[in-house]
Amino acid sequence: MYGLIFALLVGTAAAAPYMYEDHIVGGSECAAHSQPWQVSLNIGYHFCGGSLISSEWVVSAAHCYMPSTSSTPSASSISVRIGEHNIFVSEGTEQWIQASKAIPHPQYLSATTDNDIMLIKLSSPATLNQYAQAVPLPSSCVGTGVMCTISGWGETEISIGEDTALRRPTTLEKPFKEDFLNILQCRFHGCSVYFCRPFCSCVSPSSRYPNMFPQCTNASPLPTACLHTGRSDVLMCIQAPVLSDTSCRNSYPGDITNNMICLGYLEGGKDSCQNDSGGPVVCNGQLQGIVSWGRGCALPNYPGVYTKVCNYNSWIASTMAAN
């Protein structure tokens, strides 16, 4: 479960024992617009999910955006895509709104992934309609055994990988510098593939991360066809139960804090994965979790680990009021 985070830039992830979740494995296509709070965070490509909690605010994972390096883009460079189902097709339901602020939890710890939650303020309010709706915050913490819906556009295949921590690529700093800056500067020197605005990244043939981002064919006269591996074009959903705290801690000895919950199946086969990071876990109509991390994707005895949203109602309310 890798979480494509915008933390892009936290090159320390490669040393971590687990990985951010990024993708829905073992699920099926969501009914179109059945998760109207689901958003895609985009910087020329989808890198994380999020949840609309009001017309002006989105909640996501802190590991998706940590301004820890000079190469980290500003919050205003993030495009929040609302009303999406197929992120590679214009369906007429989308709203694209730039972020104005990204506010990670002040006690987020990248070493432990504790307090993995972030608020994003939109530069202008979203229009709430049947395709864009706010998901209610939890009125209480969810109980063991409750079935929940996890959604995202992440990886759809079981992943083992060397680095099995955050549900994102192992490290994003180098591919960011190699590929994303090329896009921003429109310098495609030596590239055999092109950037298809706004979906694809330009990947140099010499890049060490040729499969990290979608690629575009050399279509004529303009590159319009995107090639991508492992990720889903359409929003995917899985139904998964909340596991007991004991089961969660037994799967990850010493790594689970009181701000985390586990969901999934100990036999494996269904899970979130890369690029699902920051996305919603909705239980009985309330946002109870945020896709955070896990070992691999859908592996036996390693369920997905999610930020426990009910612990943050006060922080969310106070942060929104102050901003």
Whether the per-residue pLDDT at 256 is higher than 70: the answer is yes
The reported pLDDT for the residue numbered 61 is 94
State how far the Cα of 323 lies from the Cα of 317, in Å rounded to an integer: 10
Q: In the predicted model, what is the mean pLDDT of residues 168-192?
A: 35
Task: Calculate what percentage of the chain has a pLDDT beyond 70.
Answer: 61
State how far the Cα of 282 lies from the Cα of 290, in Å rounded to an integer: 9
The reported pLDDT for the residue numbered 181 is 38
Whether the per-residue pLDDT at 205 is higher than 70: the answer is no
The reported pLDDT for the residue numbered 135 is 98
Would residue 116 show up in a list of annotated catalytic residues for this protein?
yes
Whether the per-residue pLDDT at 134 is higher than 70: the answer is yes
Whether the per-residue pLDDT at 167 is higher than 50: the answer is no
Single out the catalytic residue among 116, 179, 255, 271: 116
Nearest to 5 by CA among 165, 210, 229, 202: 165
The reported pLDDT for the residue numbered 66 is 64
Q: What are the structure tokens assigned to 135, written together? A: 């998901």
Q: In the predicted model, what is the mean pLDDT of residues 28-32?
A: 88
Single out the catalytic residue among 23, 33, 46, 63: 63
Q: What are the structure tokens assigned to 13, written together? A: 């992830």
Q: In the predicted model, what is the mean pLDDT of residues 226-255?
A: 81
pLDDT tens-place string over residues 219-240: 333 333 333 334 557 898 989 9
Q: Name the CATH superfamily, with its identifier, for domain 11-169+232-322.
A: Trypsin-like serine proteases (2.40.10.10)
State how far the Cα of 127 lies from the Cα of 134, in Å rounded to an integer: 11
Quickly state the pLDDT bin for 21 (edges 50, 70, 90).
very low
The reported pLDDT for the residue numbered 90 is 87
Quickly state the pLDDT bin for 46 (edges 50, 70, 90).
confident
Task: Taking the CA atoms of 181, 184, 189 and 191 in sequence, report the sign of the dihedral they define.
Answer: positive
With tokens 């990947």, the residue in question is: 203
Q: In the predicted model, what is the mean pLDDT of residues 141-150?
A: 97
The reported pLDDT for the residue numbered 276 is 75
What are the Cα distances from residue 262, in Å, to 240, 246, 286? 10, 10, 16
Whether the per-residue pLDDT at 67 is higher than 90: the answer is no
The reported pLDDT for the residue numbered 58 is 99
State how far the Cα of 267 lies from the Cα of 52, in Å rounded to an integer: 32
Strands of 236-241's sheet in order across: 28-29, 236-241, 147-152, 280-283, 286-293, 304-308, 260-263
Nearest to 5 by CA among 37, 47, 34, 66: 47
Single out the catalytic residue among 60, 232, 251, 277: 277
37 or 183: which carries more pLDDT confidence? 37
Q: In the predicted model, what is the mean pLDDT of residues 20-26?
A: 45
3-state secondary structure of 28: strand
What share of residues in the chain are helix, strand, coil (percent, to 5)?
15, 30, 60
Locate the domains of the chain by residue range: 11-169+232-322
The reported pLDDT for the residue numbered 270 is 56
Quickly state the pLDDT bin for 248 (edges 50, 70, 90).
very high
Instruction: Name the pairing type of β-strands 236-241 and 280-283.
Output: unpaired
CB 121: neighbour CB atoms within 10 A?
18
Bridge partners (DSSP) of residue 239 are: 149
The reported pLDDT for the residue numbered 1 is 39
Whether the per-residue pLDDT at 268 is higher than 50: the answer is yes
The reported pLDDT for the residue numbered 176 is 36
pLDDT tens-place string over residues 83-131: 999 888 889 999 999 999 999 999 999 889 999 999 999 999 999 999 9
